[in-house]
């Protein structure tokens, strides 16, 4: 396997840029609805604004989670544990790391959901 650092660094850069853009979009939705009396539940436009704001907020959380995963992968690389499953200690297949360079678990542990949110499930 080639050195994963350049790919992870680039993934981090792209994700951080995407996250900044999403946060800007979210701020725009919040600002647009801040000074209105829109009743999201009864106003036809209010429901659309609330939906869009909610969708962008979900994308922000997803991008934040991915950025954390990339940072964790870089930390594992620095610690010499990149490519080792954080749940079971077995090697993470190179094919999985090629597709998901920030992968923290082997396929078996990922299928069982053994690693969730930075901690190993019992």
Average pLDDT for the chain: 86
| 46 and 100 both lie in a single domain | no
In angstroms, the CA 62 to CA 50 distance is 18
> Could you tell me the residue range of the domain that residue 92 belongs to?
83-122
Contact 49, 29 (CB under 8 A): yes
d(CA 88, CA 113): 12
Cα angle for residues 23, 53, 20 (degrees, 5° grid): 10
Domain total in the chain:
2
Where are the strands (E) in 34-117, listed by range? 115-116
96 and 45 in a common domain: no
- Mark whether 77 and 91 lie in a shared domain: no
Task: Decide if pLDDT at 117 tops 70.
Answer: no
Residues 34 and 72 in one domain: yes
- Whether 21 and 69 share a structural domain: yes
pLDDT, tens only, 84-108: 999 999 999 999 999 999 999 999 9
Whether 76 and 88 share a structural domain: no
Q: Is 92 buried (19+), middle (13-18) or exposed (0-12) by CB count in 10 A?
A: buried
Q: Is the pTM of this model over 0.75?
A: yes
What was the pLDDT predicted at 51?
A: 81
Shared domain for 41 and 101, answered yes or no, is: no
Give CA torsion, residues 56, 58, 64, 65, to 10 deg. -160
Check whether residue 13 and residue 54 sit in a common domain: yes
> Are residues 62 and 93 both part of a single domain?
no
Cross-strand partners of 115 = 120
**Does residue 122 register a pLDDT over 90?**
no
Residues 122 and 62 placed together within one structural domain of the fold:
no
């Amino acid at each position: 396997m080639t050195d994963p650092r350049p790919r992870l660094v680039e993934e981090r850069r792209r994700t951080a840029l995407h996250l900044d853009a999403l946060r800007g979009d979210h701020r725009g939705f919040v600002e647009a609805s801040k000074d209105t009396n829109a009743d999201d539940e009864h106003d036809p436009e209010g429901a659309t604004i609330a939906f869009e704001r909610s969708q962008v907020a979900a994308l922000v959380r997803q991008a934040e989670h991915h950025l954390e995963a990339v940072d964790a992968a870089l930390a594992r690389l620095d610690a010499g544990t990149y490519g080792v499953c954080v749940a079971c200690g077995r090697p993470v297949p190179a094919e999985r790391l090629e597709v998901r360079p920030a992968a923290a678990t082997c396929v078996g542990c990922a299928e069982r959901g053994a690693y969730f949110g930075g901690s190993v499930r019992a």
